[in-house]
Amino acid sequence: MTVISVVFGIRGHLKSYQREDSARATETALFTERIASLNVRFDTLSSKVAEVEKTQEEIHILRAQMASIGEDMKTVKQNVANIVKLLLEKLGTRPQ
């Protein structure tokens, strides 16, 4: 009977180890799944940050272009004023 009880004792220990291994495997699988989920979130955030950076660069370019257009408009206005002044002088009248 002692041999049988020893065999059942060993069998019980082996089943206990098997349950522990199964629990560890489950924990590892869950941990791996969490890491994969975090990687997906990180990739999504990275792409959103890249989009925001691109948009900021585009806004900076547009602002520079708007400033340039503003300067060009001032120059055109001054040129038109000079042309009107010259035309009025040629016609013999003075601008008021």
User: pLDDT of 26-49, one tens digit each?
Assistant: 899 999 999 999 999 999 999 999
- Structural domain total, the chain: 1
Average pLDDT of the chain to the nearest whole number: 88
The answer to whether residue 79 scores a pLDDT higher than 90 is yes
Flag whether pLDDT at 96 surpasses 70.
Answer: no
For the chain, the farthest-separated pair of C-alpha atoms sits apart, in whole angstroms, at: 135
Give domain status of residue 91, yes or no.
no
φ, ψ of residue 95 to 5 degrees: the values are -70, 145
pLDDT at 23: 82
In a domain, 13, yes or no: yes
* pLDDT > 70 fraction of the chain, expressed in percent and rounded: 91
Residue 76 included in any domain: no
Task: In whole angstroms, give the CA distance from residue 80 to residue 86.
Answer: 10
Is residue 44 included in any domain, yes or no?
yes
Structural domain includes residue 84: no
CB distance 95 to 85 below 8 Å: yes
* The pLDDT value given to residue 22: 82
Q: Which residues form the domain of 26?
A: 1-70
Cα angle 72-78-82, degrees, rounded to a multiple of 5: 140
Distance CA 61, CA 51 (A): 15
* Inside any domain, residue 47: yes
Can you tell me the distance from the alpha carbon of 5 to that of 8, in angstroms, rounded to the nearest whole number?
Answer: 5
In a domain, residue 90? The reply is no
Instruction: Output 52 or 92, whichever has higher pLDDT.
Output: 52
Question: Quick check: is 83 in a domain?
Answer: no
Q: What is the pLDDT of residue 92?
A: 83
Q: Mean pLDDT check: name the lowest of 4-8, 21-25, 31-35, 64-68.
A: 4-8
